[in-house]
A = this chain, B = another copy of it.
Amino acid sequence: MIKRVETGIPGMDEILHGGIPERNVVLLSGGPGTGKTIFSQQFLWNGLQKGEPGIYVALEEHPVQIRQNMAQFGWDIRPYEDQGMFAMVDAFTAGIGRSREYEKYIVHDLTDLREFIDVLRQAIKDIDAKRVVVDSVTTLYINKPAIARSIILQLKRVLAGTGCTSIFVSQISVGERGFGGPGVEHGVDGIIRLDLDEIDGELKRSLTVWKMRGTSHSMRRHPFDITDKGIIVYANKILKRGGIVEI
């Protein structure tokens, strides 16, 4: 009965018991170097392969750099942009420099959430987007924690209305236990946490689905790798204190 959006990331849909329920807003939370951006780009790319248009809202990196980074994993989004199946929202350059000539969707003032929402809504409408990534939402309320919750709720309301399934990248500090602040955590439909922990001299990557409205899901911490083809999640392994074990 419930429709799902497959992430296409190896192992991930198994963990989600079929994929992310449609229209859910999912917080993808992790410290530096945990693979949040790769995960969310892979989610969009896999959507394109299934014919589902997608939008990447760039708040952390120059759009040109993002296209190059994706290409390194074999995800060349240029043709999809030309076909109107992929849109980059440039919320990074503020339209300064040559981006004005190249980028179609530019947010000029990040302190004005209405402009942000208008540009995003227009991009969604233009390409009839099914998937949206905001990388990162943290940038929208950095230094303004008191309004984080309100921003999350406004974005969620807009995206819910469009029928998109969304990933909000949330940056947290190393060692921080939560997912980006209480207001944010309680406002979203799902939470996926990426971890990078040192265990006795070795860095280990793992992933946990903390909540996901509308579906059951794995209740375990799964190890994953970042390869030159993107992320591979091991749905049949658990990261325990003593190391990785088969289920």
Binding site for B on A (CB under 8 A): 2, 31-33, 60, 62, 65, 69, 72, 136, 138, 142-143, 146, 149, 157, 160, 171-175, 177-179, 181-183, 185-187, 191, 196, 198, 200-204, 208, 210-211, 213-214, 216, 219-221, 226, 228, 238-241, 245
Contacts and interface: CB of A to CB of B under 8 A. Distances in A.
A227 B100 CA distance: 51
Contacts of A33: 191, 210-211
Given A146-B143, A171-B186, A219 B238 contact: no
A162 B151 CA distance: 36
Given A174-B178, A191-B32, A136 B186 contact: yes
B178 A177 contact: no
A172 B186 CA distance: 9
Nearest to A177: B175
B177 A211 contact: no
A186 B72 contact: no
Contacts of A187: 60
B214 A72 contact: yes
A211 B32 contact: yes
A38 B62 CA distance: 32
A65 B160 contact: yes
A182 B136 CA distance: 12
B173 A174 contact: no
Contacts of A69: 213-214
Given A136-B186, A201-B239, A216-B226, 18 more contacts: A2-B72, A31-B185, A32-B186, A33-B210, A33-B211, A60-B186, A69-B213, A142-B149, A142-B183, A143-B146, A171-B182, A173-B178, A173-B185, A174-B185, A175-B178, A200-B240, A203-B219, A203-B220
